Each structure stands twice: as C-alpha cells, then as structure tokens.
Amino acid sequence: MVSRRREAENHVFIVGGGPGGLAAALALRQRGFEVTVADGCTPPVDKPCGEGLMPDGIDALAQLGIRIPEIEAHPFRGIRFVSGDISVEARFPRGYGLGARRTNLHRVMVERAGRAGVRLCWGAVVTGLHADGVLVRGKLVRARWIVGADGSGSRVRRWAGLDSHLRKKERFAFRRHYRVAPWSEFMELHWGSRCQVYVTPVDQSQICVVLISRDPALRLDEALRQFPGLFEQMRGAEHGSGERGAVTITRKLARVCSDRVALLGDASGGVDAITGEGLCLTFRQANLLADCLSEGDLQRYQAGHRSLSRHAAMMAELMLLLERHNGLRLRAMRAFRNRPNLFARMLAMHVGAASPLDVAGNGLALGWSLLTA
C-alpha cells in the first residue's frame, strides 16, 4: 500500500496522446516522473494541420530526443508570401524547417515515448477526474498530477473548472495532400481576399495544401481558383489524401492550471493557425510544465504559459490584421518587396531568432515602411 502511494506521488497522468501529450510525457520522463498517456484513438493519429515545423520547433523536438528521419520529411529553407503579382521570400536565419506528414510525426513520437518508458494506453477512454487521480472507464488510476492535452474541446478543461474564456475566435481550415513534386525550397503562404492557402512540401513527390478562412462552407477546390498561379502549378495533380477539416481557434483562458491539473497545447488555448507556430508553442509548454512539476509549483506554469503565448499571439494578430485589410496587406507586401531585409528580420522574429530590441526595431521599421510604401 505504501509503495503504491509513493508511486502515485511521482505519477503524472496525461489525457491525450497527440504530439502535445507525447512531448509532455517525454519531458517528464527526462525529469524522472512515472508517466501514463491515455487516448481513445490508436496511432498513428492524424489531424488536419499545415505539417510544417519551423527551426525552433525542430530544436524543441531535439531536446526531447526526437529526430524525424529524412525519408519521412522534406526540408524547406524559408518562407514565401504571395499576394496577387507580388512575391517576397526570406531564408531562415539559422537551420531549416521540415515538412512532415502528421502521421509520420506521431509515429516517431510514439516510438520515442515507448523507448523512454512512458506507459501508453491506446483506446482508453478517460471518463472523469477523481481526488486521487483519474477515472478510466470508471476505474480509478492514481496520479499526483493530471495533464489535459486533449485538444480544443478538452473535457479535462471542463472537469477541472478551467473553461472560463477571456477571448475566443474561430476560423476554419481544410487540408489535402497532392501528388506533385515541390517546386521551391520555401513554405508558401498565398494571400487571397477571402482566405489564405499554405503549401508545404512533405516529401519529394507530395505537398500539403491547407486552406484557412472565415467561411465554413469554402473548400479547397473552389478556393484554389482564386490563385491562378498556384492552381496552374497543381493542375492535374492526383490527390494524396482526402480533404479534412478542422476549426482553428484563437483562445485565451483565464487560467491554465489548478492545484493538480494543467492544460497543454490546444486544450490550454491557442493562436490562429496562420502563424504555423502551434506545435512549437506546445513543445515549449511541455518543457515548461515538466520544470514546474519537478519543482512542485504549478502556479509558475500559469505565468510561464502566458509569457510563452505572448509572442505567438502578437504574430497572429499582425498576420490576421493583414488578412482582414487587403489595402494594408498590399502596402506591407510592397514594403517587403522594396526592403527584402525587412521581411528577413520579420521572419527571424517569428522563429525566435531576434532579441526584444530587434523586435522593437522591426516594428518601427515596418510601420515606417507601411507609411512610405
């Protein structure tokens, strides 16, 4: 009985076995915790997303001991914005990004978690919280800490009384893969008057295309006709997957933790998918949470989570401002075209390779360029 209690005191139960839950599990194992991950699905788990990992996201994975094999991913060297007849691009200041099918990423993370000693319970439905742990199909599993990594519709968030919102906005995303060789070494963001389309190379013969808009009825086939150049490059390409949809939510919660429950990833809030930073932000949250649980101080997680989210939220607001105002976006694109170094500095800021002083300078430079474009 005593040994069980001691084990429970060092036990973290994670609800949700997606990349966020697995990242938290690996970070916690690195710090000596016993970890169980439960998910109602079975791997590999898919989810519609842009499937692009920025250099800082790759670094965050490396800290967890994860490397995606080259055969299961495709590198890209920077970002390209396309709006009408204006195109601007910049390389990452260091490293490279990776396009990887979500199923490939999940499989690699599951394998790493298994080797690290994480107890993985697939097809296991968590039915509630208990004073001593969680209920799995009504049966008590003892745990000291509980992590809700169960997505934007998190039941853990609701059970723990953490569902109070300060802000919530929604847009709609649809993803499909196309069997066509990547035509550039950049991840591309194509801006339209009603939507945006991301193009990410995921292997030598396939790209991932994601549509994001405010219109839940808009689909890829219709949207792509708004982008003649892109439509022509993809003409005749076979589909590599069916079209899948998801809601991208900008959400800020009043609290992301209680005495023994912490929320992670989409369960803890989130920024619009236009930033492409969702996974990287989640991986950083996982490391922060592991540090806080090692110290037995979840309240520090609340402040740290807010600090981590601030940068991503700022970038999301800036890009959504360009999404809402066509005239402002045109001026910004002209400014970036006329001053390529400005776009490169903005990209460096986006991937966390710029200091706070650089960020302030970039903001002032962008503002002046918009006035004079």
HEC assignment per residue over 78-92: EEEEEECCEEEEEEC
Asked whether residue 208 is domain-assigned, the answer is yes
CATH number at residue 304: 3.50.50.60
Asked whether residue 59 is domain-assigned, the answer is no
Helices 356-372 and 340-350 cross at an angle (nearest 10°) of 140
Asked whether residue 61 is domain-assigned, the answer is no
- CA 59/CA 67 separation, integer angstroms: 9
126 touches 154 (CB < 8 A): no
DSSP class of 220: H
CATH number at residue 196: 3.30.9.100
Distances (CA, A) of 139 to 5, 142, 158, 161: 17, 10, 20, 22
What pLDDT is attached to residue 124? 95
> Are 188 and 240 part of one and the same domain?
yes
Residue whose C-alpha is closest to residue 39's, from 113, 101, 104: 113
> Are 29 and 147 part of one and the same domain?
yes
- CA 212/CA 271 separation, integer angstroms: 13
> Are 158 and 173 part of one and the same domain?
no
Asked whether residue 35 is domain-assigned, the answer is yes
> Are 192 and 273 part of one and the same domain?
no
- Phi-psi category of 142—alpha, beta or left, where left has phi over 0 and alpha has psi -120 to 50? beta
Give the count of domains, the chain: 3
> Are 24 and 116 part of one and the same domain?
yes
> Are 191 and 215 part of one and the same domain?
yes
Whether the model pTM is above 0.85: yes
> Are 239 and 282 part of one and the same domain?
no
> Are 16 and 148 part of one and the same domain?
yes
Q: What domain range includes position 214?
A: 169-247
Residues linked to residue 37 through DSSP beta bridges, in sequence order: 14, 120
Q: Which of 196, 222, 247 is the last residue of a domain?
A: 247
Asked whether residue 128 is domain-assigned, the answer is yes
Q: Which of 247, 263, 295 is the last residue of a domain?
A: 247
> Are 128 and 259 part of one and the same domain?
yes
What pLDDT is attached to residue 354? 55
DSSP per position, 125-175: PEEEEETTEEEETTEEEE-SEEEE-S-TT-HHHHHTT---EEEEEEEEEEE
- CA 258/CA 156 separation, integer angstroms: 11
> Are 206 and 292 part of one and the same domain?
no
- CA 300/CA 286 separation, integer angstroms: 13
15 touches 100 (CB < 8 A): no
Asked whether residue 12 is domain-assigned, the answer is yes
Residues linked to residue 15 through DSSP beta bridges, in sequence order: 38, 148
Q: Which of 212, 231, 247 is the last residue of a domain?
A: 247
> Are 116 and 239 part of one and the same domain?
no
Asked whether residue 74 is domain-assigned, the answer is no
Residues linked to residue 169 through DSSP beta bridges, in sequence order: 250
> Are 173 and 240 part of one and the same domain?
yes
Phi–psi pair at 286, nearest 5 degrees: -60, -45
What pLDDT is attached to residue 147? 98
Asked whether residue 97 is domain-assigned, the answer is no
Residue whose C-alpha is closest to residue 65's, from 35, 29, 33, 92: 29
103 touches 96 (CB < 8 A): no
From first to last of its 373 residues, the chain has per-residue pLDDT tens of 434 445 567 899 999 999 999 999 999 999 999 999 999 999 998 988 889 999 999 999 999 999 998 888 999 999 999 999 999 999 999 899 999 999 999 999 999 999 999 999 999 999 999 999 999 988 999 999 999 999 999 999 999 999 987 777 889 999 999 999 999 999 999 999 889 999 999 999 999 999 999 999 999 999 999 999 999 999 899 999 999 999 888 888 999 999 899 999 999 988 888 777 788 899 999 999 999 999 988 889 999 999 988 878 888 888 888 888 899 999 889 988 988 888 888 888 777 665 554 554 455 455 545 445 5
Residue whose C-alpha is closest to residue 26's, from 142, 115, 124, 140: 115
